[in-house]
Amino acid sequence: MTSTLAAGGYAATTAADGGVLSYAWLMIALPLLGAAVLLLGGKRTNAWGHWLAIAAALSSFVWAVLSLGQLLGRAPEERSVTVHVYQWIKVGTFDIDLSLLIDPLSMTFALLITGVGSLIHIYSVGYMAHDENRRRFFAYLNLFVAAMLVLVLADNYAVLFLGWEGVGLASYLLIGFWQHKPAAAVAAKKAFLINRVGDIGLLVSIMLLFTTFGTVTFHPVFESVDGAGRGLMTAVGLLLLLGACGKSAQLPLQAWLLDAMEGPTPVSALIHAATMVTAGVYLIVRSGPIFEAAPTAQLVVTIVGAATLLAGAIIGCAKDDIKKALAGSTMSQIGYMTLAAGLGPIGYAAAIAHLVTHGFFKAGLFLGAGSVMHAMNDEVDMRRYGGLRTAMPITFATFGVGYLAIIGVPFLSGWWTKEGIIQAAFDSGGLTGQILGWVTVLGAGLTAFYMSRIMFLTFFGEKRWADGAHPHESPTTMTVPMIILAVGSAALGAVLVVNYTLGRFLAPVVGAPAHEFDLVHMLTSPYSLAALALMVVGVAYAWLRYARGEVPVTAPKGNFVTVAAREELYGNAINEGLFMRPGQQLTKAAVAFDDHAVDGVVNGVARSVRAASENLRLVQTGFARSYALTMLFGAAVVVVTTLGVSFA
């Protein structure tokens, strides 16, 4: 069957015609099998379980590469292939197949998830070497990768939701892996509950799509959105955005992300780089036709992205915990992607390109942070680091490459993709485009400051180590993945952006690039120059504050902005004030109503019946004379009543 471009620039699907693509389900099955073996095998797998998990993740990556090769062998308009696995649900006319969609967008995510995920698996061998529950940890890693692959490879919203919930379960298990730590247990529950809020939005949107279109499969829905009412599409779009905010930690559902740093560092890298937080961006881009049919929902997406971009950056500027500072950075960078996704076709490719490069340099940064913690007896306070570049040269070099990439140094990965988002924001036109564009430029300056702050506090300045600290370089199993990620952080952006390689690859799904590649424009446009200037200012200010100046081991109180940033812009306080405490009061009121009203009525009726029965029981004395007297009295009443009626 020859496919054609469907309405809106989205390619129609074809059935898999054999070869590797027909067995694309193996990408999911292999890590899922690894998780099952490790969880069911028990202690017998302790000695080799981690190697099985790595083999499963790497095998999934190899199959993704082979699938990509076969997909590239097709004409661009035929690069959307449906792989039917089995019939999942059939009730009357309600028919949902468990089918996979292999197209440029899903394969981009599959390669990122399995590639970066495999490197994190390898890194975890060294990082979790002394953990007695290492086997279970690797099982959860495999489960996480499998669930994420279900999410991005699904060809309908129902299967996507299955993967969505699987990711939520796996994240709960991984964040709370060290459940003996109260903070880790609380963080896992917090992440689980906040994500359920977003999940409700996604679930309701799926229900609305089914009741409107009679299906939840992507392409039939997308081909029908133009015939649906704008109000309905706006509601669906906002509900999808709510789901995306939960998974991608965007305002107002961001509060779980920094607390999630209580989990092992490889978990932080997995959640922040290649998997969980990117799911929301994937959902928005995949649902592009719905948002394009609802301009109001699109505008809200850009506003949420812009607000989170700035909020995350401000939080990152004040955190002394190295992992939480990087978590604030993730909020901000996902905000960039969300903003770009909200721009529509002009921003989709830029959002995905930044997502891919971010997966590499943010994974490298988190693994670098884990390497530092590994060498510093699990110390996370950057004020107790300093001068580590000589003690940990490989970590310093690889972390440094990721740092230069994320702040947007020209020709490194982050510069190419961030410039794409800045350009797309300004090209969207109008006052809104100008506001969003300058927000992205301001974000570039803030990024440079908070990342320079992390770099200088950790690797430069005077040694502020605690007594007993003996920093040393991490083992090979940890440094090799960091080196590979550093190479990607340096070069991947150019590979994706020059000549719009990724944009042209994604074109059958998200539409063709808005304009031709122009390096001169990227280097000389006033917006690019403004972003570069703010980057230099941010680096210079951080250098003066944290590399040249004295850094107190105990953080000074700071002004009200610093205090607010340390308190995560009072996100937890706001959630507690608006939702938790009112919810507690509502629960107490419901309990009181149940105790006094519902139970009161039931218990009151019971007491009345009991009292009546007890009084009636007194009449039954068991003495014949009492019964005769009663009969006589009754007869007298009857006679008197009869006579009274007769004389009336």
| CB distance 339 to 302 below 8 Å | yes
Share of the chain above pLDDT 70, in %: 96
Structure tokens belonging to residue 602:
């039931």
Question: pLDDT grade, residue 571 (50/70/90)?
Answer: confident
Residue whose tokens read 């082979």: 66
* pLDDT score for 272: 73
Q: Any bridge partners for residue 91, and if so which?
A: 94
* pLDDT score for 641: 82
Global confidence as pTM: 0.89
Pairing of strands 81-91, 94-102: antiparallel
5 pLDDT exceeds 70? no
Identity (one letter) of the amino acid at 343?
Answer: L
Residue whose tokens read 């305002």: 251
Q: How many CA atoms lie within 13 A of 124 on its CB side?
A: 33
212 pLDDT exceeds 90? yes
- The answer for residues whose C-beta is within 8 angstroms of residue 601's C-beta and 6 or more apart is none
| CB distance 370 to 266 below 8 Å | yes
**Stretch 274-291: mean pLDDT, rounded?**
91
User: CA–CA separation, 184 vs 170, rounded Å?
Assistant: 14
Question: pLDDT grade, residue 17 (50/70/90)?
Answer: low
Model confidence over 156-186: pLDDT tens digits?
999 999 999 999 999 999 999 998 889 999 9
Model confidence over 512-539: pLDDT tens digits?
776 677 888 888 899 999 999 999 999 9
* Crossing angle between the packed helical segments 526-542 and 430-459, to the nearest 10 degrees: 30
Q: What is the mean pLDDT of the chain?
A: 89
6 pLDDT exceeds 60? no
7 pLDDT exceeds 70? no
137 pLDDT exceeds 90? yes
* CA dihedral for 115, 116, 119, 120, sign (positive or negative): negative
- The answer for residues whose C-beta is within 8 angstroms of residue 217's C-beta and 6 or more apart is 96, 155, 156, 157
**Stretch 401-416: mean pLDDT, rounded?**
95
- The answer for residues whose C-beta is within 8 angstroms of residue 383's C-beta and 6 or more apart is 320, 457, 464, 551, 552, 553, 554, 555
Rg over CA atoms, the chain: 31
* pLDDT score for 10: 53
User: CA–CA separation, 379 vs 373, rounded Å?
Assistant: 6
- The answer for residues whose C-beta is within 8 angstroms of residue 459's C-beta and 6 or more apart is 385, 387, 388, 389, 392, 396, 399, 400
Of the candidates 128, 191, 169, which has an alpha carbon nearest to the alpha carbon of residue 32? 169
Count of residues making up the chain:
648
162 or 599, higher pLDDT: 162
* pLDDT score for 539: 96
* pLDDT score for 9: 46
* pLDDT score for 226: 86
- Range name among 337-341, 460-464, 569-573 with the lowest pLDDT average: 569-573
Share of the chain above pLDDT 90, in %: 64
617 class by beta-carbon count within 10 Å (0-12 exposed, 13-18 middle, 19+ buried): exposed
User: CA–CA separation, 220 vs 158, rounded Å?
Assistant: 14
Most confident of 145-159, 547-561, 592-606: 145-159
Q: DSSP character for 515?
A: S
* pLDDT score for 560: 84
| CB distance 315 to 328 below 8 Å | yes
- Range name among 12-16, 60-64, 447-451 with the lowest pLDDT average: 12-16
| CB distance 12 to 58 below 8 Å | no
**Stretch 352-379: mean pLDDT, rounded?**
93
Residue whose tokens read 């039931």: 602
| CB distance 53 to 125 below 8 Å | no
> Which 3 state secondary structure label does DSSP give 378?
coil
623 or 35, higher pLDDT: 35
* pLDDT score for 469: 80
**Stretch 620-631: mean pLDDT, rounded?**
74
Model confidence over 295-332: pLDDT tens digits?
999 999 999 999 999 999 999 999 999 999 999 999 99
User: CA–CA separation, 463 vs 457, rounded Å?
Assistant: 10
Question: pLDDT grade, residue 1 (50/70/90)?
Answer: very low
252 pLDDT exceeds 50? yes
Q: Note every long-range contact of 589-597, with CB atoms under 8 Å and residues 24 or more positions apart, other chains counting.
A: none
Q: Give CA 336 to chain center in angstroms.
A: 14
Residue whose tokens read 């379980």: 49
Identity (one letter) of the amino acid at 532?
Answer: L
User: CA–CA separation, 218 vs 100, rounded Å?
Assistant: 11
